[in-house]
């Protein structure tokens, strides 16, 4: 573990990514406490440019709502959706992949055909359809993002398990009569996790982007403000009021970038040999 942090902190991109993520989490957790005003409240005159009034530092939108408050509350929704939907995708994808890889044969065939069924549909289109059918709400958005993002997890885990399954220590465990679930959970999965962790960090980034795209198209939860919603709502007035779109857009950019950097840093840290050879 110590080794892990050491190599993680040695990679500059990992450090930058971590700082960004921690900052975003801090804003999401503590921001709404410091700015208790609802981001939906009309507080000032509409289209107030940024940096003109201290109370609304980033200006106001078409209804006179505080863009800064929207950014802070939006961080909460974006991160929450990103983390929870990734978690759900992992919970679905890891067991499917592990079972397919471990049991092989017909089980593998059945599970992989099922996975491919989801992979053949363009993920964004599927997400739109799901949200539209289920009606936009935070739950349906998390669910649909999870549904479109678990197949890669399953494929990855399956590949790892396939290769680990032939190792001696796994064979030994089978010979000593350990139960299948014990072998999968205690022997194989812990050793298959590092690429999954890297993938997960990138999935959070993708999920944030997906949520933003959905909200941009008007398929966000109408009761929650999110960065994607702000960009979508400000899009029509971008020529009169650039700040309504630009600030949340930058927020999406930075947080997605941060998560990608973390993914890179994790990759370096978890595969030290690979990264050293690469340099």
Partner 1 sequence: MPKRVLLGLLLACGLAAPALAQEPKTGGVVNAVIQPEPPGLMLAQVQNGPTQMVSGNIFEGLLRYSPKLEPLPELAESWSVSEDAKTYTFKLKKGVTWHDGKPFTAADVLFSMEMLKQTHARARTNLAQVDKIETPDDYTVVFTLKQPFGPFLGIFEVGSMPIVPKHLYEGTDWKTNPYNNAPVGTGPFMFKEWQKGSFIRLVKNPNYHEKGKPYLDEIYWQIIPDAAARSVAYETGKVDVLPGGSVENFDVPRLSKLKDTCVTGAGWEFFSPLAWLWLNNRQGPLADKRVRQAIMYAVDRDFAKDVIWNGLGKVATGPSASTIKYYTDDVKKYPYDPAKAKALLKEAGYKGEKIRLLPLAYGETWQRWGEAVKQNLMDVGMNIETIATDVAGGNQKIGDWDYDIAFTYLYQYGDPALGVGRNYISSNIAKGQVFNNVEGYSNPEIDKLFADGAVATPDSKRKELYEKAQKILVEDVPVAWMLELQFPTITRCKVKNLITTGIGVNDGFKDAWLDK
Binding footprint of partner 1 on the chain (CB under 8 A) = 38, 40-42, 46, 62-64, 132, 135-137, 218-223, 233, 236-237, 239-240
**Cβ at position 136, least distance to partner 1 in Å:** 4
| Least gap, CB of 44 to partner 1 (angstroms) | 11
Nearer to partner 1, 15 or 217 (CB): 217
- Residues 6 or more apart in contact with residue 42 via CB below 8 angstroms: 63, 64, 65
Contacts of 2 (CB under 8 A, 6+ apart): none
Q: 133 vs 175, which CB is nearer to partner 1?
A: 133
Nearest to 114 by CA among 147, 91, 79, 69: 147
Q: What separation, in Å, do the N-terminal and C-terminal C-alpha atoms of the chain show?
A: 23
What is the rounded CA–CA span in Å between residue 159 and residue 63? 52
47 or 124, CB closer to partner 1?
Answer: 47
What backbone phi and psi angles, to 5 degrees, belong to 54? -60, -30
C-beta closer to partner 1: residue 37 or 194? 37
Residues 278 and 200: their CA atoms lie apart, in Å, by: 22
| Nearest CB to partner 1, comparing residues 12 and 222 | 222
Query: What is the rounded CA–CA span in Å between residue 79 and residue 83?
Result: 6
Provide the minimum distance between the beta carbon of 200 and partner 1 in the complex, in angstroms, as a whole number: 29
> Is the Cβ of residue 93 or residue 220 nearer to partner 1 in the bound state?
220
CB of 144 to partner 1, least distance (A): 14
CB of 234 to partner 1, least distance (A): 10
Minimum CB separation of residue 215 from partner 1 in Å reads 11
Q: Which is nearer to partner 1, 132 or 193 (CB)?
A: 132
Distance CA 172, CA 165 (A): 11
Instruction: Dig out the tokens for 130 from the structure.
Output: 């799901």
The residue among 41 and 276 lying less far from partner 1, judged by its C-beta, is 41
Helix or strand or coil: residue 241? coil
Q: Say if residues 196 and 154 touch (Cβ distance below 8 Å).
A: no
Q: How far is the CB of 143 from partner 1 (least distance, A)?
A: 15
Between CA 229 and CA 211 the distance in angstroms is: 9
Across 55-80, b (16+ Cβ under 10 Å) vs e yields ebebbbbeebbbbbbbbbbbbbbbbb
Instruction: Work out how close the CB of 61 gets to partner 1 at its nearest, in angstroms, rounded to a whole number.
Output: 9
Q: Are 149 and 89 in contact (CB under 8 A)?
A: yes
């Amino acid at each position: 573990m110590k080794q892990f942090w050491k190599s993680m902190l040695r990679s500059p991109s990992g450090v930058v990514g971590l700082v960004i993520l921690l900052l975003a989490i801090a804003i999401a957790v503590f921001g709404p406490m410091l700015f208790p005003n609802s981001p939906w409240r009309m507080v000032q005159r509409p289209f107030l440019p940024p940096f003109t009034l201290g109370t609304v530092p980033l200006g106001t939108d078409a209804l006179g709502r505080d863009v800064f408050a929207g950014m802070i509350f939006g961080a909460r929704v974006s991160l929450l959706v990103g983390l929870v939907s990734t978690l759900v995708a992992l919970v679905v994808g890891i067991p499917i992949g592990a079972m397919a890889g471990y049991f092989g044969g017909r089980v593998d065939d059945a599970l992989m055909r099922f996975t491919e069924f989801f992979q053949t549909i363009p993920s964004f289109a599927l997400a739109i359809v799901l949200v539209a059918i289920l009606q936009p709400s935070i739950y349906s958005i998390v669910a649909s993002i999870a549904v479109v993002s678990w197949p890669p997890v399953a494929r990855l885990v399956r590949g790892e398990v396939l290769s680990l399954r032939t190792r001696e220590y796994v064979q030994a465990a089978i010979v000593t009569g350990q139960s299948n679930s014990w072998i999968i959970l205690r022997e194989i999965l812990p050793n298959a996790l590092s690429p999954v962790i890297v993938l997960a960090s990138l999935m959070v980034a993708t999920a944030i982007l997906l949520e933003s795209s959905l909200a941009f198209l008007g398929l966000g939860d109408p009761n929650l403000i999110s960065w994607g919603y702000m960009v979508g709502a400000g899009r029509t007035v971008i020529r009169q009021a650039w700040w309504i779109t630009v600030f949340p857009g930058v927020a999406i950019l930075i947080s997605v970038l941060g998560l990608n950097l973390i993914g890179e840093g994790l990759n370096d840290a978890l595969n030290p040999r690979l990264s050293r050879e690469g340099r």
